[in-house]
Structures are given as C-alpha cells and as structure tokens.
Amino acid sequence: MLHRKDTVNAALDRRWKQLAGKVFRRKDLADELPSVDRELGLALKAGTVRKAAQGLYYVPRKTPFGDAPPSEEALVEKFLDDHHFLMFNPSCYNALGLGTTQLYSKTVVYNHKRHGTFALAGFEFDFRDKPRFPSRKQVTREYLLVDMLNNLSDLAEDPETVLSNVRRKLDTFDAGRLEKMLADYGSARTRRVFRQMKSAVHA
C-alpha cells in the first residue's frame, strides 16, 4: 500500500513527464502544486527540470541521444507569452540566389514585445520589436528580398555587390507581390533603392 508521500511523489513524477519538451513558468504550476517553490527547487536540483532563463523552465525531452531541450518555437512563445512572432535565420536569404552565401548562427525573432539579444536554454535569439511582419505562411521570395535589403548593412557580403545582383535578377521576382511587400514591410531606404532601380530600367 502506498503511503501519502509516495502517492504525491508518483503524481509529481507523472506531472514532470507530461511536461517533457514543454516550457513553463512558476505561475503555470502554482494551482497544481501547493508547495510549488519547494517542488520546483527539488526538481531543479535533481535535474528533472532545467532553467531556460530567469523565471523560465523546461523538462528535457528524452531521445536516443540523451536529453534534448524544447523546440526553439516553444521557448520563444513562452518567453514572449505570445504566439505572434516570426522566427528565422538570416542564412535563408541565400536561397534567393543573389550571391549571399554567409551562414549565420543567430536566430532572429520579429515580435511586438521584446528587443535585444537573449539566451534561452543555451540558444541565442536576436529579438527585434517590429510594428509589422507577416506570419510564417505569408513569407515569400518577395518578402525575403525586401527584408534582406532592410537589413543590408548587417550582412557579411559587400552591399554594392548584393545590390548589383538584385538589379540583374529583379525580373525573376513577381512584380505585383514585390510592390505589396515593399508597401507593407519595406523601410524608407529600401523603397528608395527600388525606386532608383525602376528608374534606371526605364531610363
């Protein structure tokens, strides 16, 4: 027959297993665990729970290769307490075929709440507070082109070389979608660059 303490411990073990791969805050467990600070402290000490950042925790996923952290999406969503964000690596610009080849280790997160570089569970994220950005499903080649030029000064490649490649391959992009992406997401500088390109074509 199980003692009450054994029953409580078994229930806690089940709860931690249910949280495998998930990210949470203390308040998420407060209603379930009357002594949440004690139980959380013991789980952290035992390694059952890991700290992702200040006030942010997770239970590692068990894999054939050992313990694994949650997905980057899960970490960012709980960190922001918001599901409205766009996460990407600047290396995705390379797929445009415009001469960029640099591989970047950072993950950029466009969002409405945070700005700055934060480490979550050992991953580095560059959070940028943006007034507007598309959902992941709305990201097109035309959006990536506009976003790349918005961030041209941050790229490792020579800006003039990139712009020269854009001029040569501009007709490979959908003109209508490109105009819309420029209007919705282009910086003043990027819109000016495209106006100059169009003027040169019609000169």
DSSP, residue by residue, 78-109: HHHT-S--EEE-GGGGGGG-SS-------EEE
What is the per-residue pLDDT across 136-179, written as a single tens digit (0 to 9) for each?
999 999 999 999 999 999 999 999 999 999 999 999 999 999 99
- Residue 178 to residues 96, 98, 159, 169, 191, Cα–Cα distance (Å): 14, 16, 20, 13, 11
Tokens 């390379």 belong to 94
User: What phi and psi values does residue 105 have, to the nearest 5 degrees?
Assistant: -90, -20
End-to-end CA distance of the chain: 89
Each residue's pLDDT tens digit, 71-118: 999 999 999 999 999 999 999 999 999 999 999 988 999 999 999 999
DSSP state of 116: E
Q: Tell whether pTM > 0.75.
A: yes
